[in-house]
Amino acid sequence: MLGQKLPLMVIGKSEKPRNYKEILKLNLYYYLNKSAWMTGKIFFDLLENLKKKMANDNDRKILLFVDNLGLVAYVIEDLGREFVSLVFYRLRQMCSLGLDKGSLLLGGSGKIVEIDESLYARVKFNKCKDLKRAQVWVFGLVERIENNSKCYMVLVPDREALTLLGIIYEKCREGTIIYSDCWSSYSNLSQLKNFHNKTVNHSFNFVDPESGFIFF
């Protein structure tokens, strides 16, 4: 079977609306809610009905897409949070496979690319048990273009010049204007590929008082 049309689900405000007997003859599910909104209870009941219908079809696999509304908590509680997390992780993996990261290039002559590095699992005030967690550096490059801008993010072992400059050289086109902070690893950027490096000192401000450059 290539596809199957499931019964329509209707949520109404009245327990027994007009022509209720005629409605029951139709191939649909009717639920009552004072606001005629989807609720967690209705959603979970709908899934239970679907599960019973598919119980005899052992070879069938269903991929269910849901948003992040609170009603999904009913489903998560029943399936288990570890299983749901695994499903979302696999979906993200599938989406990333469609991205051609290898040939991705940013910027170009006169175009702006903003760069920065971030440390994850950093602990505020250097206290508590999370100090034992591994520290992960992520390096990101983002185009400043109004429409169809691109970005590139990658895990890096450190934020030394040898590591970061190699990524910038590989992913940015010649003549790109690169916005950065004053981290020492970026000091030789202008010597690569005719890059133009604009900086702002975060110790004093996030807007360069001379050029008006805003670093987000």
pLDDT for the residue 98: 65
**Residue 92: its pLDDT value, please?**
75
Q: What is the pLDDT of residue 70?
A: 55
Phi then psi dihedrals of residue 112, to 5 deg: -100, 135
**Contact by Cβ (8 Å): 170, 103:** no
Q: pLDDT confidence of 166, banded at 50, 70, 90?
A: very high
Whether the CB-CB separation of 18 and 55 falls below 8 Å is answered with no
pLDDT at 22: 80
Alpha carbon of 124 to those of 62, 139, 177: distances in Å?
A: 43, 21, 34
Q: Which of 2-6, 134-138, 141-145, 147-151 has the lowest average pLDDT?
A: 2-6
Tell me how far apart the alpha carbons of residues 78 and 84 are, in angstroms, rounded to a whole number. Answer: 10
Indicate if the pLDDT at residue 72 is higher than 60: no
Give the pLDDT of residue 141: 93
Distances in Å between the alpha carbon of 58 and those of 18, 52, 53, 64, 190? 40, 12, 11, 17, 62
Q: Tokens for 72?
A: 């999904």
**pLDDT for position 164:** 93
**Which two structure tokens, joined as six digits, stand for 164?**
């970061």
In this predicted structure, the answer to whether residue 76 has a pLDDT above a threshold of 60 is no
Q: Give the tens place of pLDDT for each residue, 102-145.
A: 788 999 998 999 999 988 765 666 666 656 667 789 999 999 88
Task: Judge residue 99's burial from the number of C-beta atoms within 10 Å of its C-beta, 0-12 exposed, 13-18 middle, 19 or more buried.
Answer: exposed
Domains (ranges, CATH) in the chain?
A: 8-97 (no CATH), 112-200 (3.30.420.10)
What is the distance between the alpha carbons of residues 155 and 118, in angstroms, rounded to a whole number? 10
User: Which residues fall within 8 angstroms of residue 54, CB to CB, at 6 or more apart?
Assistant: 60, 62
**0.85 exceeded by pTM:** no
